[in-house]
Each structure stands twice: as C-alpha cells, then as structure tokens.
Structure 1
Amino acid sequence: MSNSKPDRFVRTHLKTRHLVLLVELGRHGSIFHAAEAAHLTQPAASKLLTELEYALGVQLFERLPRGISPTWYGEIMIRRAGAALAEMNAAHQEVMELLSGLSGFVSIGSVMTPSMNLIPQAVSLLKSRHKRLHVAIQVDTSKILIQRLRAGELDMVIGRILDSESAAELNFEPLTDEPHSLIARGKHVLAQRKKLTLNDLAKEAWILPPNGSILRDRITSLFLSHGLDQPVETVETLSLPVIASLLMATDMVAALPEDLIRTYLDAELLSVLPFDLGLRMDAYGIVTRKQHRLSPGAQAMLDILRELAVQDTDK
C-alpha cells in the first residue's frame, strides 16, 4: 500500500534540522541569527530553507532588505515545527522520568478563576493518587494559553477558545461561566451609595486586565456603548494578590468573580458595590488538542478534572 503524499513528504524530505531551523527563523527573523541558534552555517541554513520550499512548492519566507518575514505558509510551518519538536522533547522527558523511577510530568494552563479553586482541588487529588507525578501550572489569559497548547508546550488548558482557527484543532469540554461583580475595599465610599450609575464609575480609578483579554474588551464596550469615555486612571494586571492589595489599600475598583475573592469578602476586607455590570463571561472549559495522545500523567490529570466537573454538576 503506497504512502499518502503528506506521509511521503515527512518521510522523504523532512529532517529534524528543518524543524529546528523553522523555529529559529520564526524567533529571529534572520537567516544569519537563526543559523547561529541552530548551530548551522548561514549557507547550510539557506540550503535547508531552499530544500524545504522546493519540496512544498511554496514560498515560506519573504526575503527583505534586512532579514526575512514568514508568509502565511511559513507561519503554519513554524507553528507545526514547534509543536513537533515539543512532542519529541516531551517523549525524551517521559523516557528519562521512567528510567529514574518517576511517574511522569503534566503541564496545565489555567485562566484565573479555576486556578483558585478547580486546579488546586485537581492537583491535591492527583497527588493523593500519584505522589511522584510532577505538575507544572501556568496562569494567564486564554489567548496566550491556547497559543502554548497549540505549540505543544502545555498538555491541557482550563480556559476559552477564542477563534475558529484554534477551534478546528482543539477539543472543548465546557465547565462553567463567570459572572463578574464590581469589587472595592470594604469601606469604600461608593459602598454606602444606594444607587450607582455607569457615569459615576467612569470617574473612578480601575484595575483592568491587559488589552486583548475578553473582560477588558467587554468593560471597554460597556462604557462606549453608553456614550461614555473609558476610565482615565487605570492599572493593568492579572495578578490576584496585586489586585486584592490595591483594592484594599486604595479607592480603586475592579470587575471580578465573587468566588475568586470569597475569603476577602467574608472577612469584609473587600465588598461588592451596588451596581450590576451585566458582565457574564463565556463558559471556560477543559481544552485539549485533537488527535493528540496524552502522556499517562496528563491523562490522569484530565480524568480528575472530569471527575471534579461531574461532582460540581451534581451539587
């Protein structure tokens, strides 16, 4: 039975050094610097790139007066090359861990709210069953986490899929949504007001997530859709300790899920202001790559996340 055309390309033309060179070209935007990083001479790097473009029948990079820039085809190859190398690095790591008697490694990314409750519960349960399993956790925005997942740098993500291109490559198992409330320090002057307006809030100092996040876009839209300018005095951060400290020490306000700061609310260090933002984030869920077989450790984590999700639904 003859191999398919893609299979022939991989088996006949593609070499590991092609993948390494692609990744370095994406990082450096220069054949000279990419060659250095890949431990190649510049002529050898140029030859490898020419071989790859000839085999594919497309131009992967535009040659510019200073450096190179990937075409759309090049962007695809860089991303896939990074994922392929990450897979081989993960395979090597698994083999070394088995040789040293460890049980494996799992890397998980999470948006903020599940990082405060679901992830700690899952890790605690995982460790009770597999004490020697190493777990790495990254907390960030869905956009960045999904990029790392697609590149093979994370095993799974608790977050949101934000674009159709990513959706075609990923599995999504919804967990829950996130209603957001307006939060301030416990004795904030606005907490004594019986009625607040959006115009009042536009004059306040805000703690906001970075540009490009869903919540930031929705807060911006909230003000603009009512004909109001965005707040002028702002601080950008995703760090919950920083957000909580700023809220308690200043008159700043922030939009946060109440579950995320329940301890502060119960201690009356923070309070929920009497204003309905109407902000309800899209459901976050467990995101994994399609047609990708998880390591035993990653599969154990996935099973526990599903187990906890069922328990939460049954409550």
Structure 2
Amino acid sequence: MAPDQFNIRHLAAMAAVVEQGSVSLGARQVNLTQPAVTQGIAKLEAQLGLPLFERQPGGMVPTDAAICLAPRVNAALRLIGSSRVTAAQVRAFVALARAGSYPAAAAEAGVTEPSLHRAVGDLALAMGYRLVDRRGRGLALTRQGAVLARRLRLALAELRSGLEDIADLKGQESGRIVVGAMPLSRARLLPRVITRFRDHFPQVDIHIFEGSHTELVGPLREGEVDMMIGALRDSSIGQDLTQKPLFEDRPTIIGRAGHPLAAGWDADALRRYPWILPPEGTPLRQLWRKMFEALGGALPPVPIECGSVMTIRQLLLGGDYLTLLSVDQLALELDVGMVIDIGPAPGSVSRIIGITTRADWRPTRLQRRFMEAVEAEVDALYS
C-alpha cells in the first residue's frame, strides 16, 4: 500500500497505545473513544497483514511490528503538525505542490478537481493559514504552504520507510532505494554498487535521479531522495544534512586523441587552448581555478560551460578543447583511445567524494545495506 493511504488518526492511536501501554490511556491521549481506538488498530493490522499488539489481561503489549513502526509514525505526526489533518488532504496538497495546478494535481491524485479543491481548502482550515495564492491563471504556494509541502513529503517518506520496515519483518526483502547521482558517481562507482547489491537483494527497486548538487539537494531535503553520492560541499551545507567522506578524487586534464598537448605541456600551453568546464560555483570549476593559481598567470578562456560528461566527450572529439575530469568519468573513452589523459592537474587539486543524507534520516535495513555496498565498492576500487 502507499504511505498516503493510511488513516492518520488510526496511526496516532496506535502510537499512543505503544507509548501508554493501554487502550484507555492511548484513547485519552488522542481524544478518541476506546472502541474507536480498538477498531482503528484492527484496521491497521488488516492493512499491514500482521498483528501490532498482543491482547493480554494486563494491557496491550506491542509486537515487534508496532515497536518498529511507532517511531516512524511519531516522526510523521510531528511533521504533519495537526491531529485534524487527513490522509486525503495530505495526498491532495502534495499532488498540488508537485503539479503546480489543480487540474494536473487532480489527475495525479486520481480525484475530481472539486474534490481536490475541497481537500486543500480543508487542510488550510486545519492548519490555520493560507496555503495557496492565485497568480493570474496560475497559482503559487505561500511561504507557509511551501514549508508545509516539504514537511508532508518528509512525513510520507517516514511512513514509506515504516512500510518497508514492516515488509522486512515479514521476510519480504522488497522496497525501493532512491539515489541522487552526481556526475562522478554515475560512470563507474554507482553501476558497480547496484550490480553488487542486486546480486543479494534482487527484489529491491533502485531509482537513480541524475543531477548536480543544486538539483538534487532539494529532493533530498524533502525525502524524495534517500541519499546523494558525489562531491561533498563545505561546512556551509547546513546542519540538516550529514556528509560522509568515501575517497579523495584527483581530476586530470583530458583532451581528444592526438591533441597537440599529448606530447607535453607547460602553463603557457594550457592557456592557449579553450576549456570546457561546469558552471561557476561547482567544485570542479573551483579546482580548475586552484590549478591555475598554482601555475600562476591569467585564466584561459572557457567558451563552453557544460556539466554533462556525454556532451563534453563529444565536444572534445570535435576540437582541441581541454577539460578537467576524473578518469572514472571517461574510463571507457580513455580505455578505447577516444580521449587521452594529458596529465594530472598540478597543485592541491582534489575533491572529496562521499554520501550526503538528511541529518534526521533513519535508514531502513536495506538502505543501510546499500550504503555498505557503496563503501565496499569504494574499498575495492580505490584502496
């Protein structure tokens, strides 16, 4: 089942009974009657396909499933922020935030447009603030609406992880892992990790989202990506994210086969040729600047800014351009002689490659195993 199909009050009741140890105290905590709590828990058990409590004369004893699920539920409830919010409202508003219009959101959520309007309006009443502003024929989330949309996506991510934890308890090694792949990880490291991982867990789906750090960090913060793999940023990344170093990468100067600098070069020679580099502010562009600071003198022209390795490769083949990349990013092209390694970048030119996750992220067992597979592959490739 999808995480947005749960009855939120039933989830709150289950977590309250785990905390209080009895239906009566749990019911009082969530302002429901005891029969309503008992019925809600029974419905949850039917949805999940396993018992959440053992009924004993002394009270309700939570099973491993309830103990496992309750922290996820509590985290989701804190993110939702109101006991008056329903799953239908969450589903409608997350769809609206993603789609950007009521017609598109209604189609995504599988409801009529009036139903979606009503659900979003009811959510605004429950939260006590406006969620959406009209902008001509379109709409825009208010500042508070944008914050809520992010919180709701994180809440759904927690519940999705809870479902995967439950599946794991049932012996079902299924689920999905969503990886944000920055440029360096795509060509060599990540494909090898996926192959290694799926040899052991063939039932797990792996979703790869390619992009730059800027493109991926938003989905990571909103729970739509589990982890990012690529060049780490400095400490200004924010306290809500955690970075784990994996290895140090030293980029090298690359050109086409037969490039005039294949036989040797000096600083002046490097300035005579045009460069292809990613945009300003990216780690590789900063390393390129550091390289020429070490060499001294002016910077050469960069007529082409591009972050796509595939495009850079084709451009290199068509002229006497130079670029700065890891050998991993063009390993196949180097092996077959399409491009050549002109020489290592001089100076203190290196970057740390690692995994970035949310600081409050609690990975499932299979997500932990995937990160272990990443670390094992790093040891095999770079030790």
Question: TM tier, shorter chain?
Answer: 0.7 to 0.9
Shift in Å at residue 302 of structure 1? 1.6
Task: Write the distance in 1 (CA, Å) between the matches of 2:107 and 2:318.
Answer: 50
> Which of residues 301, 308, 327 is equivalent to 1:238?
308
1:16 pairs with 2:87: yes
Task: Write the distance in 2 (CA, Å) between the matches of 1:34 and 1:262.
Answer: 43
Shift in Å at residue 221 of structure 1? 9.2
Q: Which residue of 2 aligns with 1:68?
A: 139
Q: Deviations over 1:235-274 (max 9, x none)?
A: 635234x433442443222111134435544655433336
Which one is further off, 94-103 or 264-273?
A: 94-103
| Secondary structure of 1:63 counterpart | strand
Q: Deviations over 1:172-221 (max 9, x none)?
A: 211123322221013111334542438834x52x4333677443466589
Aligned length: 309
Cα 1:222–1:212 shift into 2, 3 Å: same
Which one is further off, 12-21 or 62-71?
A: 62-71
Structure 2: gaps of 5 or more residues? 1-19, 21-28, 31-73
1:270 pairs with 2:329: no
Task: Write the distance in 1 (CA, Å) between the matches of 2:115 and 2:337.
Answer: 65
Cα 1:251–1:8 shift into 2, 3 Å: closer
Which one is further off, 56-65 or 210-219?
A: 210-219
**What amino acid sits opposite 1:257 in the alignment?**
S
TM-score (normalised: structure 2): 0.63
Q: Deviations over 1:139-195 (max 9, x none)?
A: 432222333333333332212465879643333211123322221013111334542
Q: Which residue of 2 aligns with 1:122?
A: 193
Q: Which residue of 1 aligns with 2:252?
A: 181
Q: Which residue of 1 aligns with 2:271?
A: 200
Task: Write the distance in 1 (CA, Å) between the matches of 2:119 and 2:202.
Answer: 45
Shift in Å at residue 301 of structure 1? 1.0
Q: Which residue of 1 aligns with 2:97?
A: 26
Cα 1:46–1:101 shift into 2, 3 Å: closer
Structure 1: gaps of 5 or more residues? none
**What amino acid sits opposite 1:144 in the alignment?**
E
**What amino acid sits opposite 1:254 in the alignment?**
T
Q: Which residue of 1 aligns with 2:243?
A: 172
Whether the aligned pair in 2 keeps the contact of 1:25 and 1:34 (CA below 8 Å) is yes
1:135 pairs with 2:206: yes
Larger RCO, structures 1/2 (Cα 8 Å, 6+ apart): 1
- What is the 5 A alignment of 1:273-288? 273=342, 276=345, 280=349, 282-288=351-357
TM-score (normalised: structure 1): 0.74
Whether the aligned pair in 2 keeps the contact of 1:209 and 1:237 (CA below 8 Å) is yes
**What amino acid sits opposite 2:140 in the alignment?**
S
Cα 1:194–1:170 shift into 2, 3 Å: closer
Whether the aligned pair in 1 keeps the contact of 2:271 and 2:300 (CA below 8 Å) is no
Task: Write the distance in 1 (CA, Å) between the matches of 2:87 and 2:335.
Answer: 56
